[in-house]
Each structure stands twice: as C-alpha cells, then as structure tokens.
Structure 1
C-alpha cells in the first residue's frame, strides 16, 4: 500500500509587497543582541542593506554586515563565513539577497554551532552529521528564482561540480518575500532566476515524489511565471509582473522542497562547477533537452504543464503567439500525450529565446570534448537523479548534454 506524503512548510512566512518591513519586528521576537546580516554586495551599493539594517539597530541590536558574497559560492567562502560567525558570537543571522546569500546564511547559522569544517557535512563526501539547530535565521530573497528561503538545502561550488548540505535545521525560522526588493534586478538575472523558479516547479510536478499538494503548488507557480516572466524581463519596474514572479518563486520553492528536483538540476550542477555557468542559466540551457528525453515517461503530465504555461493571461511574445497556439492545438489532437510533450518542449525553447538566454552549451564556450567529464559528474548526483520519472543512465545523460551543446536547429 502506498504511504501518504509528508509535507513540510516553513514555520513563518511573510509574502507580498511591503513584507520586508516586518524584518526588524522578527529580529525583536528573538531578543537578539548581536545580529549578522549576510548580504549581496550590490545591495549595499543600492542602499537596500542599510535601509533594512537601520530599523534593526534602532531596535537596540548590534548589527554587523558580511557582504563578501560571490555568485555560485565556493566551499572556501563558506568555510570563511562559518569561522567568522563562530568568532562573532552572534545571536541571529539574516540572509539578504539571491540564493547564494541565503544558502550561506543557512550554513553560517547552523554550522557555526558545530565542530569541524563545512566540507565535513557535504552530501557526497562528508562524514559528520548536523545535530544542533544553531542560530535562528531569517531569510529575505531579493531575486525571484531560487526558493532557498523555504528549503533545507545549501549549494556550494567545488573544483569540478557542486555539492550540498541538507538537513531540516537549515530551514528558515522565517521567510520574508517582498517583490519590491526585486525591482532593481537586471534583465538577464531576472530571466535566469525566473527560469530557475519555473524549473523547480516543472521538476517538482514530474518528480516521482509528487503529491496532490505539491502538484497544485507547482502548476500555479508555472501559471504565474508563464504569464509574467517576459514582462518582468522587458520592464523591471512592472511591479505586477514582479509580484507574480516573486510569488511564483516562493510557491515553486514549496513545491520542490516537498517533491524534489531531478535530472535538470543533476546536469546543471557540473556546468556551474566546471564552467561557472550561473545556476539559472544552466537550468535554462538544459531544461528543454531533459524534458525531451524523459517525455516517454510523463507526456500526459507535460500536457498539464503546457496548459499552465500558456494559460489565460500568459504574455507570449508576438512572434511566439501563433506557434504557441498551434502547439497547444496539436497537444489536444490525436497525438495525445506525445503531442503534448512535443508542444511543451517547443514552448520551453521559445521561452528561453524570448527572455534572451543562450540557446546552447556552445554559447558558454564549452567544447564537445568536455561532454564526457560533464556526464561523469552528473552521474554522481544520485540524490537528484533518483527522482526522475525516467531513469537516466550514462548514455541518456551524455545524449542530453550533446543535444544541449548542439542547440536547437
């Protein structure tokens, strides 16, 4: 008999425009005297860090800012930050920024209360286990994509690939999601993080661990992102589009936290580790090709995703509208699930093109000679690959990389 699904949600979430004003109040709830704010450096230049820090200081807390964050953060940076947090004897950690800042804030809060190095707790090679909750952590995303504010995972870049630290204690004590903090994000980052959020929702819906609850979350996230991602990329000041993307990112995070992601992420990690391709862009480059490969196992559910992606209120580019309509009609025709899957893959190719992201691995300077090494590293991501609705053997992984390297004709 199939067992019921276990569902996990963060203890507290504040979601919507203006939610960032709740941060100082949340800090006061913990009666924290020493607060460490871990923030993306660009936020300091924009004045966002100080705008959120000042009410915390006015509440009586001493606040230090650590802003030496890098994209796709390295293990070395995580080690340095955890040591810094131990030495500072802080009472609470705030993470402010994209997924890198939030993941590092999780590690700083939890591993500063543990012995050993961060490397000791890595999923693939570590030998220690997390045993203590560590410091309270409040996570405030300023991009719409990673969902890190509602997950129990932190991702780090290694020499050739990526690895993670995973534990329930990495979950935020409170998530604060405010679309107004995302308005200044540039178009390419908006596109990459938006596709990242959509990938989370798509993979959660197709995961072998999907449930009715995660399905509902995933489909609504795709619906929100599908109708607004192009608008958010075209005009970052479109606050309605930003709100949709912010909500989509949060909801997709809840979906994949409960159902998991799979093949796209397994293959994206080596692109980040070996070639420093930003995570959202790596997902975008691989998403259509992974979907095409696994379609025989989940074509019907891809039809559901297609309808959500092209639902009422979606905003495809004019050139894409006719072909999208044709694809949708084909999906409903005699071809059935196979037609729906083909139409869904085509829609993903169009979306990547419309938001201006590279269409092939060659665009990142990756040569065909590197595909074997990428395949070997991706094959080690067994935690992710186990959730795929179609088992991906080495030959499948290599074929996906090859297709993504060649690009769509």
Structure 2
C-alpha cells in the first residue's frame, strides 16, 4: 500500500527540545518570549515537580488531571485558565494533561465552547495564549500533534477536536522525566506508541513521508521497551522510547490511527481502562486481523520488533501477543473488570468510530469487532 503521489500535510511544533536534562529549557524559552503568567496543567504527581521546568513569574498549577478526562474535567481546567489569565499554558504529564492543555489554549478567552469545535478545522484562530507541551510518559506523542480527546460522560464517547491552532509552540521532551514511570505503565504506554506507528504504517492513508517515522518508531520500541520495563533508570532505553513516542505523534497528524484505537476506546470510556493498557491488549488482535490486507507491511512490523517474520494470521497473533504478554501486560479483558455482557455494547460503540475504522486496511464489521472482544476476553 503506497500513496506516494497523494498530497500530505505535515506540521511540527515550532521548537522541539529533546534530551536528558532539557526540561528547564522551557523556562529559558518562556523568559525569552516574555511570558510572565503561566498555567501548568498536570496530574497530582507531576504538579509536585513543576519546578523542574524552570518557569518564572506568576506560575499557577492545576494538578487534578486524571486518566481519560471528561467534559467536566475540561470545565475545571478552563476555570483555572480563566483565573490564571495565563499568557502561556503548559501541558505537563501524559496524553490527558497535554490534550486538556491544547483545549484550554484554544478555548480560554474565546467565545467558542467545546461543542463548537468538535471535529476537524472548527477552531477559530489564532489562539490568545502560547502553548508548551512537556511529556512525562512515552506513549501518546500528543506533544507533537493537533488533536485532543475528551469523553462525554453521558454517551461515553470520545469527543475529538483537530486543529492546527492546537499545535504547540514548543515541545520539551526530557527522557529523565519518565524514569519514575512504573514498569506496567511503561509497558502499556510503550505499546501505545507502537500502535500509533503501526496503525499509521498499515493505514489506508499510509504515506512514505510518514512510513519512515512509523517503522523507525516500531524499531525503537522493539529495541528498548523491554529494557525500560526491566530497569526504569536505563537512560538510553528511556530516550529511545521518548523518541519512539515522538515519532508516533508525527504519524497521528497526517495519517492517524485505525481499527486498533477504535476498539480500544470503549475500554477506557466505559470501564476506565488506561488508554495504553487498552491499546496493548487489542494490538495483537488487530495486527493479525489486518494481515491479509497488508502482508508485506505486517512482516516489516514483526521484523522491526525483532519477531519472527510471517504473513499468517495465527503466527502474527502469537508473536505479537507474546511480545506484549512478556512485558507483563494484562492480555485478558475479563481480568480488567470488563463484564462479558458488555461486549456487544462495546462493539456497537467501536463500530460507530468511523473516523478511525475507515482508515483500517481491512474492513472491520460489527461482528468482527465482537469476535475480537470475545477472543480477548
């Protein structure tokens, strides 16, 4: 599958700082830009170490971000942004913190509300405040992207916003910030980064300009994820995963994910399974399912991960499943608190996520989705 002659748009944050110890460069950059009122959006743990960013002036911290944030969480963040009257908003944490920071940056001080901007290209710009992103996990790649997701608690559906106005002015990627991530979270978020790369690589909209990042991201995960799970202080492994996550973020803008993420989302919105863990559990099933449509690319993925090359569905599943299970990832839905009688509703939810399913290289029917959930149970 090659779309070499297809038009593609690629964007990156204006400044990218990458490497051990670069976190404090954010403060230097902000001072040079003259930003004096800063709002840091983070979870409780990262709120306690916001000083590492070297920020000066009036620094407020909203430290109540939780996994899988919903519209109520966004409302609280927007209230904090209004109170801080910030000229710089910083997302400091995992994908949840960075997504909320994106939305706060475009909605604070704007006449638009969330309902007005759901979808692609609906944010009125330019935004009023600057935006910085500092990831503390290696998975989402949200620091490099222009999409943000929050959950509607009423429908339990993900609400997706896509806009060039949510692109960060600066992304500061310091792998040392990920040293404290526990082994199980390291494993799950690492496979999330892998899923971003693989779903873009095998996508109907796949493009050689993105494939190069996707395949190298997969190689980095194959080379370094197990090492980081074994030793969280392995600086080289952490840096490799941080780069893999960034490359996954590069894939999300012009190509995006596909069936794997569509099937993973209901696990988070309905049963609060962490995004990385949900994607890791689903990953082998969808990779194997898609094999007949993209056999050459599937072989390339397995080779990148250091796994036996194959274009047979059963062999692909076994290799990918063992890769994830060997990292200590829970690979059974039933062990994550998901009740068997909810699988049909989850299949309905996943089948409705056309913005992702329509990217999948092989059509996934509702029956196919239910069969995957049942196999994963």
Q: TM-score, normalised by structure 1?
A: 0.87
Quick check: 1:293–1:396 contact (8 Å CA) kept in 2? no
Quick check: 2:71–2:150 contact (8 Å CA) kept in 1? yes
Structure 1 position 342, deviation (Å)? 4.3
Which of the residues 256, 259, 264 maps onto 1:263?
259
Structure 1 position 365, deviation (Å)? 2.0
1:182 aligns with 2:178: yes
In the alignment, structure 2 segments of 5+ residues that lack a partner are none
In the alignment, structure 1 segments of 5+ residues that lack a partner are 311-323, 332-337
Which of the residues 389, 398, 403 maps onto 2:361?
389
Q: Tell me the alpha carbon deviations over residues 161-211 of structure 1, each in whole angstroms, 9 at most, x when there is no partner.
A: 322221111111111111011101111111111111010011010111111
1:130 aligns with 2:134: no
Alignment partner, residue 140 of structure 2: 146
Count, aligned residues: 371
Q: Quick one: distance in 2 between partners of 1:249 and 1:144? A: 5
Structure 1 position 226, deviation (Å)? 0.5
Alignment partner, residue 50 of structure 2: 49
Q: Tell me the alpha carbon deviations over residues 348-399 of structure 1, each in whole angstroms, 9 at most, x when there is no partner.
A: 1012111111111111122221111101111221111111111222122222
Alignment partner, residue 293 of structure 1: 289
Which of the residues 38, 52, 69 maps onto 1:35?
38
Which of the residues 314, 317, 323 maps onto 1:351?
323
CA RMSD of aligned residues (A): 1.8
Alignment partner, residue 76 of structure 1: 72
Which of the residues 18, 22, 25 maps onto 2:28?
25
Alignment partner, residue 318 of structure 1: none
**Cα distance change on mapping 1:381 and 1:204 into 2, 3 Å:** same
Q: Tell me the alpha carbon deviations over residues 144-170 of structure 1, each in whole angstroms, 9 at most, x when there is no partner.
A: 001000011111122323222211111
Larger-gyration structure (1/2)? 1
User: 1:214-293 to 2 correspondence within 5 Å?
Assistant: 214-293=210-289
Quick check: 1:114–1:130 contact (8 Å CA) kept in 2? no
Quick check: 1:79–1:117 contact (8 Å CA) kept in 2? no
Q: Quick one: distance in 2 between partners of 1:243 and 1:205? A: 22
Alignment partner, residue 316 of structure 1: none
SS in 2 for 1:155: strand
Where does structure 1 differ by over 4 angstroms across 4 or more consecutive aligned residues?
none
Which of the residues 348, 351, 365 maps onto 1:379?
351
Structure 1 position 18, deviation (Å)? 2.0
Q: Quick one: distance in 1 between partners of 2:374 and 2:12? A: 38
Q: Quick one: distance in 1 between partners of 2:159 and 2:266? A: 10
Q: TM-score, normalised by structure 2?
A: 0.94
**Cα distance change on mapping 1:6 and 1:123 into 2, 3 Å:** closer
**Cα distance change on mapping 1:4 and 1:165 into 2, 3 Å:** closer
Q: Quick one: distance in 1 between partners of 2:130 and 2:375? A: 44
Alignment partner, residue 6 of structure 1: 9
